[in-house]
Structure 1
Amino acid sequence: MHQNGNGVKQGDRLLKMPGTLDRGPVEFRSHIVEQEGEVMAIATRDVVSVPRTMTIIAAVEQMTACGFRRLPVTDAGTKKLRGILTSGDVISLLGGGDTSRLVGEKHHGNLIAAVNESVRAIMTQTVVTLPDSARIREAVDTIVTKKIGGLPIVDKLGVLVGIVTERDVLRVLAAERSTLHVEDVMSQSLRVTAPDCPIATVTHDMMKYRFRRLPVVSDDVLYGIVTATDLMRYLGSREVFARMTTGNVAEVTNLPVRILIAGELTTTTPEKSINEAAREMLEKNIGALPVIEDSHLIGLVTEFDLVRAFARG
């Protein structure tokens, strides 16, 4: 844990009411029912997991159907955690990272053959977890310092008992009022892409720069935003196969990224409070808001940005 100037663990005093009505530090436990007081109070307990033997395509279809960004991989009998499949792993497979060798080298570019391999071939095996005795402040500290969007929770035997995400802790943190505005916490030096940019280039950039999303800009105007979830859904919905004739991955990764962009785009403005931004993200179940000023994209504010801002008080 980090120490503040008073020698008190920062995690104990993550929430603060600023301004003229400053009530001083507020401990996390004031937000959680007394009898629990732990991370399990805000975690999802009925966790969907899959065995290592499940095929990649079946697991991705499960993630797509449930709207998950990550899927724990467990032993079928004991439910011991063995790994996790994330949207980043799927992007890597599509050409953005190391696991793309499964397609390119082992299966000579045949995506259909590759996605019928088992999940163990591409899952993240070294998983950052929390114990079921962890407090919420530990979840926040881990999310902020390690930049991880979701943490499986395990018991003393390594059995999966829950999962806590950025969104879960944001619901708790956003209950406190802040004087900060979107412009105070947003990312301004944005890497963007163009509507006609090949999907392969987008997956490569996402993996190289560890982005979960890229704004798509045309002539300085925001065209849309492509996310890791969009790319995963492309595979999980089987739309990718409808666009193939030979089965070669290049047929689909050479297509323009604009084919993945659909639906209403929700944006925000720099002067909005971070409480308003958090409320909008939570209500609309989205992970980021492009920031628009004078019809131009000037930044991007994400769940992670908000968690970090609220946590620092």
Structure 2
Amino acid sequence: MDMFTRPVIEFATRNVVSVQEGEKVVNAIKTMVNLDIRRLPILRGDKLVGIITMLDVLDAIYSWVSDKNAEGSLYSDIYMKSVAEIGTRSVITAKPDTPVGEVISLFLRHNFGSMPIVDEAGRLLGIFTEWDVLKIASELDFPHRVRDVMTRIVYVLTPYSTVMDVLEGITIYKFRRYPIVDETGKVVAMLHAKDLLRFFAADETIDKIKQGAVDEVLNSYAINIAKSPIFLVKAGDPVVDVIRKMLEYDVGGVPVVNEEGTAVVGMVTEKTLMLLFEGSAE
């Protein structure tokens, strides 16, 4: 049987961590951070009614801090809201026997990052994500080089960039990973969106937000919260080697540097690697 015709449930995560629709956002983000996951399906009883993701939370925080007319507090207006108020209600789902190639094609066409799998009654059976696509890609013999799948649009930070700079990059420019470079252009740290979520989930940060010290939080230096591992690739490197290393390091994005290693010239991410499947997954 061709891999792409196999049921998606074979490749999905089955023991899915979920959250009930009335759960507070603060508890959801702590769960995501503690378990190192990016999304939580939202249930009403055992039925899927939505999903809340890391990006939903960060977008909501950015929207609040950018709203000059916002009343109340960041803690009460975001952290203490229910996940159903912050998350996405309209969720595209798959059935367990949907061919995995069909799901990957939907990811490509609609820029999805995940798809819950439900039975006929709407009960959650699993979830298929970009990470699962990466695992499939690691088992295939792609002849491509990094230059074939990298994006040449890169958003880099400096050691003086702030948390607010990262929030803007995530919300406005939709970048989830940031090389932090010194004055020579050398990569000195890597910050992923999950590092930012970890920062906003930390008890120390939450205490400052409760006290109203939101500006202090936003003006924190991004380099101090950048905890993601660093590895760099070059445009001529084999894609299959990069994919396997991404899985080994548990990172969803890698900076591409020039031959001298002195400048970032692109990024390889889970989404750009989807290009490997264009045409073949249909």
Give the TM-score normalised by the residue count of structure 1: 0.81
Q: Which residue of 1 aligns with 2:252?
A: 287
Q: For residues 184 and 171 of structure 1, what CA distance do their matches in structure 2 show?
A: 19
Q: For residues 24 and 233 of structure 2, what CA distance do their matches in structure 1 show?
A: 39
Q: Which residue of 1 aligns with 2:201?
A: 236
Is the CA contact (8 Å cut-off) linking 1:103 and 1:111 kept in structure 2?
no
Q: Which residue of 1 aligns with 2:178?
A: 214
- SS of match in other structure, 1:105: coil
The yes-or-no answer on 1:27 pairing with 2:2 is yes
The yes-or-no answer on 1:178 pairing with 2:178 is no
- Structure 1 residues 106, 46: closer, same or farther in 2, change over 3 A? farther
CA shift for structure 1 position 116: 2.0
CA shift for structure 1 position 128: 2.3
Q: Which residue of 2 aligns with 1:18?
A: none
Q: Which residue of 2 aligns with 1:201?
A: 165
Is the CA contact (8 Å cut-off) linking 1:84 and 1:124 kept in structure 2?
yes
- SS of match in other structure, 2:233: coil
- Structure 1 residues 129, 195: closer, same or farther in 2, change over 3 A? farther
AA paired with 2:147? E
The yes-or-no answer on 1:190 pairing with 2:159 is no
- SS of match in other structure, 1:196: coil
CA shift for structure 1 position 251: 2.3
The yes-or-no answer on 1:270 pairing with 2:239 is no
Is the CA contact (8 Å cut-off) linking 1:215 and 1:222 kept in structure 2?
yes
Q: Which residue of 1 aligns with 2:11?
A: 42
The yes-or-no answer on 1:134 pairing with 2:98 is yes
AA paired with 1:231? L
- SS of match in other structure, 2:14: coil
AA paired with 1:186? M
CA shift for structure 1 position 248: 3.6
Q: Which residue of 2 aligns with 1:308?
A: 275
- Structure 1 residues 29, 89: closer, same or farther in 2, change over 3 A? closer
CA shift for structure 1 position 243: 5.1
Aligned residues: 277
Bigger mean CA offset, 266-275 vs 38-47: 266-275
Q: Which residue of 2 aligns with 1:93?
A: 60
- SS of match in other structure, 2:19: coil
- Structure 1 residues 85, 111: closer, same or farther in 2, change over 3 A? same
Paired residues for 1:46-195 under 5 Å: 46-75=15-44, 77=45, 79-95=46-62, 97=63, 105-107=70-72, 109-111=73-75, 114-195=78-159
AA paired with 2:220? L
CA shift for structure 1 position 41: 0.5
Is the CA contact (8 Å cut-off) linking 1:69 and 1:229 kept in structure 2?
yes
Larger of the two Rg values belongs to structure: 1
Q: Deviations over 1:21-70 (max 9, x none)?
A: xxxxx93258xxxxxx3000011111111011111111110111111011
AA paired with 2:3? F
CA shift for structure 1 position 208: 1.1
Is the CA contact (8 Å cut-off) linking 1:111 and 1:248 kept in structure 2?
no
AA paired with 2:268? V
Is the CA contact (8 Å cut-off) linking 2:19 and 2:40 kept in structure 1?
yes
Q: For residues 53 and 100 of structure 1, what CA distance do their matches in structure 2 show?
A: 24
Identity among equivalent pairs (%): 29
CA shift for structure 1 position 106: 4.4
Is the CA contact (8 Å cut-off) linking 1:151 and 1:163 kept in structure 2?
yes
CA RMSD of aligned residues (A): 2.4
Structure 1 segments, 4+ long, off by >6 Å, are 101-104
Consecutive unaligned residues in structure 1, runs of 5 or more: 1-25, 31-36
Q: For residues 69 and 34 of structure 2, what CA distance do their matches in structure 1 show?
A: 27
Aligned equivalent of 2:222, options 251, 257, 262: 257
Q: For residues 192 and 275 of structure 1, what CA distance do their matches in structure 2 show?
A: 25
Is the CA contact (8 Å cut-off) linking 1:63 and 1:236 kept in structure 2?
no
Q: For residues 127 and 210 of structure 2, what CA distance do their matches in structure 1 show?
A: 39
